[in-house]
Amino acid sequence: MNANVRPMKTSAELALADIFSAAKSTLPGNGNIAVWREAAFARFASAGLPHRRIEQWKYTDLRAMLREVKPLAAPPGADAKKRAAGAGEAFAGLDCRRLVFVNGTFVPDLSDLNSLEPGLTVRSMAQGLATADPLVVAHLGKAVAVSDAAIDMNTALVGDGALIHVAADAVIERPLHLVFATVGERPAAIFMRTLVVIENSARVQLIESHEGRDDVDYQINTALDIVIGDDACVDRVKFTNEGSRALHVASLLASVGARATFNDFSFTTGGSVVRNQLFLRLAGEATTANTCGVNLLTGRQHADTTLIADHAVGGCQTRQLFKSVLDGDAHGVFQGKIVVRPDAQKTDAKMMSRALLLSESAEAVHKPELEIFADDVQCGHGATTGALGDDLKFYLMARGIPARDAESLLIQAFVGEAVAMIAHEGLRNVLSDAAVAWLQARG
């Protein structure tokens, strides 16, 4: 159990309390929504910022890392919107429906809300909260029962985000690209929440991209609740390329229905401290959930991927494949837990996490966990840490390829295995190009 020593509140925790009491009357949502925010903040306040004695945050001591909390971001003015016009351009070549959020606020002018496909509804979360939208009331925070300080903070302080609904049987061909850009000139804290509800047998693809300025130390706490109905099929790609001084904490709460498929991919290159936490609950039989990711880190970046796949019922299959490439003084953390409940027989769960260390001072941590309570299962995990194979490198160099290029080729192959899991060809290319760009920046 946790060593529950409660020392004095840190200045960041005190600041958050001040921010909440000042902001709560203006944050969207009254009545039950306001009560819900209060309850969330109360839970957060009693637990405080997560620290290294909390098992799940062992390697990312947010309490120590978060020295001060920035003021809540203000809605973007015309200048900010102009600066954000080119956001998400890495994906410009793909035919997607863009939903643009600048400094945490939805900007319809920069977004594409024309001719929504039949069955697709898109609204801003601010609106959803303000009107106590039935979807919000029914689903927000309910996909997975998890007690987590970052999610509680998000619930308490959320300003905006997206509220998306895909009706039963609707097949949305054009991917939805949620573009999150932070362009404020002064550091700010942004709390965003998106809820996507996909009804039975529907299909949709989501892309989420996060970017911001390198010269500002802004703070992002974002969360995505996905509720996937039976027989539905959902793909999500999250591209995190925050500014080099940014703090980014992201939570995914996904519940997957019977016979549904959920493919999730996280690609992280930016940010100073990034925490991607994924909570998956397989709620129906015969579901398939594939969670993959690539982290490319250098400098003094710290990126932590923490994932819990909960096999609540039997007959489901999960696969996780994570690759990290760590250069400079970067720290990469992977914590992946597979839980198989007592009656979840015939579970098939496999996890693989690999880290490539490119420099003397990079550090990699793996903690793949299995918590198995049913016996007729096939569960396994693997983890490796190492450097580029000398033999392989030598082979390429012996064929005339210079050392750096040989390394690049090998790293691209390493990363490519995970990127290959993405079904959408255009997206695969975007991410492969991003990997190549990162390699070129190495010098």
Partner 1 sequence: MIHLGKNTTSRIISKGIAAGRSQNTYRGLVASHRRASGARNFTNCDSLLIGSHCGAHTVPYMEAKNSSTVFEHEATTSKISDDMLFYCRQRGMSAEEATALVVNGFVKDVLQQLPMEFAVETQKLISISLEGSVG
Residues that bind partner 1 (CB under 8 A): 342, 345, 355, 357-387
The nearer residue to partner 1, 127 or 385, going by C-beta atoms, is 385
The nearer residue to partner 1, 373 or 394, going by C-beta atoms, is 373
Shortest Cβ 308–partner 1 spacing (Å): 13
Please give the angle made by the CA atoms of 41, 42 and 48, to the nearest 5 degrees: 80
Shortest Cβ 301–partner 1 spacing (Å): 16
Shortest Cβ 359–partner 1 spacing (Å): 6
The nearer residue to partner 1, 11 or 378, going by C-beta atoms, is 378
The nearer residue to partner 1, 97 or 354, going by C-beta atoms, is 354
Shortest Cβ 355–partner 1 spacing (Å): 7
The nearer residue to partner 1, 238 or 366, going by C-beta atoms, is 366
Bridge partners, 294 (sequence order)? 267, 323
Shortest Cβ 296–partner 1 spacing (Å): 16
Q: Which two tokens stand for residue 179?
A: 């573009």
Shortest Cβ 361–partner 1 spacing (Å): 7
The nearer residue to partner 1, 71 or 380, going by C-beta atoms, is 380
The nearer residue to partner 1, 20 or 334, going by C-beta atoms, is 334
Orientation angle between helical segments 149-157 and 11-23, nearest 10 degrees: 30
Q: Which two tokens stand for residue 63?
A: 């309490």
